[in-house]
């Protein structure tokens, strides 16, 4: 009669070992997949931000000298925003420490000085000054 109890105990110990092994393998995989999905989300938000500025620059340029447009955008992670050579660029640092430049092209030349931005909502004024050949991003302020 004791043999039946010993077999049940051996099955329970075997199931416990299997659960420990599976837990040791799956928990690190879950952590890395969460980091990867966070990085994709941040890159996507950064792409929307630079595309918003690039679209505003194209609209301002199509309206002619003296045109101005104010846009709002979300910065998902601390980074540097700059514009030049018909591109808006935002540098994103991922969870593993690597950096990537998220870019959006404009149809015309655009300029903006390098600006350090922290995570949050911002407004920017995109302006084409009179007697100038470039559209400028000026007055980036946090909401």
Interval 30-41: pLDDT, tens: 877 888 888 999
Interval 13-59: pLDDT, tens: 889 988 888 888 888 778 778 888 889 999 999 999 999 999 999 99
Residue 143's pLDDT is 82
Is the confidence at residue 6, as pLDDT, over 90? no
Is the confidence at residue 65, as pLDDT, over 60? yes
Q: Which of 51, 136, 46 is nearest to 100 (CA)?
A: 46
- Side by side, which strands form the sheet with 68-75? 68-75, 120-127, 135-142, 110-117, 79-84, 87-93, 99-105
What are the structural domain ranges in the chain?
2-142
Handedness of CA 79, 70, 128, 107 (dihedral sign): positive
pTM of this structure:
0.78
Interval 96-136: pLDDT, tens: 889 999 999 998 889 888 899 999 999 999 999 998 888 88
């Amino acid at each position: 009669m004791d043999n039946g109890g010993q077999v049940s105990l051996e099955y329970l110990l075997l199931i416990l070992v299997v659960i420990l092994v599976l837990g040791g393998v799956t928990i690190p995989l879950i952590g890395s997949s969460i980091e990867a999905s966070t990085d994709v989300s941040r890159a996507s938000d950064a792409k929307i931000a630079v595309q918003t500025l690039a679209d505003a620059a194209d609209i301002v340029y199509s309206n002619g000298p003296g045109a101005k447009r104010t846009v709002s955008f979300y910065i998902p992670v601390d980074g540097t925003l700059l514009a030049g050579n018909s591109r808006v660029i935002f540098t994103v640092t991922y969870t593993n420490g690597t950096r990537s430049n998220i870019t959006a092209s404009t149809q015309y030349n655009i300029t903006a000085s390098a600006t350090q931005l922290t995570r949050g909502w911002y407004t920017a004024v995109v302006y084409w000054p009179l007697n100038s050949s470039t559209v400028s991003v000026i007055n980036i302020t946090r909401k």
